[in-house]
Amino acid sequence: MEVLGNDNDHVGTVDRVAGDRIILTKSDPESGGTHHSLMCTDVESIDGDKVMLGCSAEDAKKRWRDENRDRALFEREDQGEAGPHMLDRSFEGTYR
């Protein structure tokens, strides 16, 4: 399904829904080769084969989140350099 902003501009194409997020295809020209996602609460309506958002396409693109599959399952985007490798210090010396 095509995803459009309330200005009828193209945002992306739905790949799947995961939890409360709509995952957009990475093959869409707007995606830059990366999966992006939007909150389901951004959806205003669904009309046939189109998902209409309650915000402009530009605002949606500012809000979307990159869905990078390289991140660990428990890693958050806001961890930056303090990512899951911080566990190494916690368990340092535990195993020989």
pLDDT per residue as tens digits for the range 33-88: 888 999 999 999 998 999 999 999 999 999 888 876 555 444 444 444 444 455 55
* Position 16 in a domain: yes
Domains identified in the chain, total number = 1
- Expressed as residue numbers, the domain containing 78 is 2-90
Is 95 inside any structural domain? no
pTM: 0.68
Residue 31 domain-assigned (yes or no): yes
The pLDDT of residue 72: 46
Mean pLDDT of 2-19: 94
CA–CA dist 19, 37 (Å, integer): 11
Q: Which residue has the higher pLDDT, 93 or 56?
A: 56
Q: In what order do the strands lie in the sheet with 43-47?
A: 43-47, 50-53, 2-4, 10-18, 21-24, 36-39, 65-66
- Residue 31 confidence (pLDDT): 83
Residue 69 covered by a domain: yes
pLDDT tens digits for range 14-38: 999 988 899 999 998 888 888 899 9
